[in-house]
Structure 1
């Protein structure tokens, strides 16, 4: 199934996406975890601003 998704994202007429990886600190333990999201290129700045 992953091949089908990758092929769809690489179409010429489709939107271009970016993978955003953020480090999130756990309030309980203080350890950092990483959260990954696939967002459209025009929404990257608004996603990072959260």
Structure 2
């Protein structure tokens, strides 16, 4: 089932952002978790290539 888009993202400035979902492996258990963040569209490739901060 799809989630509704947040109302603030429906504005013209909302199109400048992208939701990035990454899989992050836990050092303790070895299990993967997913981290979601809103990133400016022009910074997506930079965010993906760097580690999680």
TM-score, normalised with respect to structure 2: 0.71
CA-based RMSD of the aligned residues comes to 1.3
Structure 2 unpaired stretches of 5+:
1-5
Which consecutive unaligned segments of at least 5 residues does structure 1 have? 1-5
Determine the structure 2 residue equivalent to 1:3: none
**Structure with greater Cα Rg:** 1
C-alpha distance in structure 1 between counterparts of 2:10 and 2:45, whole Å: 22
Distance of 1:38 and 1:46 partners within structure 2: 13
Note the alpha carbon deviations across 1:2-42, whole angstroms, 9 max, x for none: xxxx3333222x25110000000001100000000000100
